[in-house]
Structure 1
Amino acid sequence: MPPGPYRWFVVAELVLAAVTFVALLFVVAPYGGRHGRPGWGPTVPARVGWVVMEAPASLAFLGFYLLGAHRADLVPLLFLLLGQAHYVQRAFVYPLLMRSGSRMPVLVMLLAILFNLLNAWVNARWISEYGDYPVSWLADPRFWIGVVVFAAGYALNIGSDRILRRLRRTGGGYRIPHGGGFRFVSSPNYLGEIVEWTGWAIATWSLAGLAFALYTVANLAPRAMANHRWYRETFPDYPASRRALLPFVL
Structure 2
Amino acid sequence: MWWPPFLYPPPASAYVAAMSAVSLASMANAGLAELRGRHMAYSKFWHVVAAGSTAGGGKGNGKQAGGALLRSRDGMLVAYAPALLAAAASFAVPGAVVGARAQLLSAALAAHFLKRILEVLFVHRYSGSMPLDTAATIGCSYLLSTATMIYAQHLSRGLPEPPVDLLYPGVLLVAVGLAGNFYHHYLLSRLRADGGGDGDKGYKIPRGGLFELVTCPHYLFEILGFFGFAMIAQTAYALAVATGTAAYLAGRSCATRRWYESKFEEFPARIKALVPYLL
The aligned runs of 1:121-136 (5 Å cut-off) are: 121-127=147-153, 129-132=154-157
Residue 210 (1) aligns with residue 239 (2)? yes
* Structure 1: unaligned runs, 5 residues or longer: none
> Which moved further from structure 2: 58-67 or 104-113?
58-67
In structure 2, what is the equivalent of residue 82 of structure 1?
Answer: 108
Bigger Rg, which one: 2
Higher relative CO (Cα under 8 Å, sequence separation at least 6) belongs to 2
User: How big is each residue's C-alpha offset from its partner over 1:53-94, in whole Å with a ceiling of 9 and x where there is no partner?
Assistant: 11112112333564462524333212211111111111x211
Amino acid in structure 1 at the alignment position of 2:34: L
Task: Tell me the distance in 2 between the aligned counterparts of 1:206 and 1:229.
Answer: 35
Structure 2 segments unaligned to the other structure (5+ residues): 1-10, 51-60, 197-201
- 3-state DSSP class of the match of 2:18? helix
Percentage of pairs with the same residue: 28
Separation of aligned partners in 2, 1:246 and 1:133: 38
CA–CA distance in structure 2, aligned partners of residues 130 and 164 of structure 1: 40
**SS state at 1:104 partner:** strand
Alpha carbons 2:173, 2:224 under 8 Å: kept: yes
In the alignment, residue 203 of structure 1 is paired with which amino acid?
A: I
Note the aligned Cα RMSD (angstroms): 2.4
Q: Are the aligned partners of 1:184 and 1:242 in contact in 2 as well (CA < 8 Å)? A: yes
Is residue 100 from structure 1 mapped to residue 111 from structure 2 by the alignment? no
Counterpart Cα distance in 1 of 2:19 and 2:27: 12
| Aligned pairs (5 A) from 1:91-170 | 92-97=117-122, 98-127=124-153, 129-132=154-157, 141-170=165-194
User: CA, structure 1 residues 196+68, in 2 after alignment: closer, same or farther (shift >3 Å)?
Assistant: farther
Which residue identity is paired with 2:39? V
Q: How far apart in 2 are the matches of 1:227 and 1:204? A: 31
Count of matched residue pairs: 246
What letter matches 2:251 in structure 1?
Answer: P
Q: Distance in 2 between matches of 1:15 and 1:230?
A: 25
Relative to the length of structure 2, the TM-score reads 0.79
What is the aligned partner in structure 1 of residue 82 from structure 2? 56
5 Å-filtered alignment, 1:11-90, equals 11-26=21-36, 27-36=38-47, 37-38=49-50, 39-41=61-63, 42=67, 43-64=69-90, 66-67=92-93, 69-90=95-116
**Alignment-derived partner of residue 225 in structure 1:** 254
Higher fraction of helix: 1
TM-score (norm 1): 0.88
Which secondary structure does the structure 2 equivalent of 1:52 belong to?
A: helix
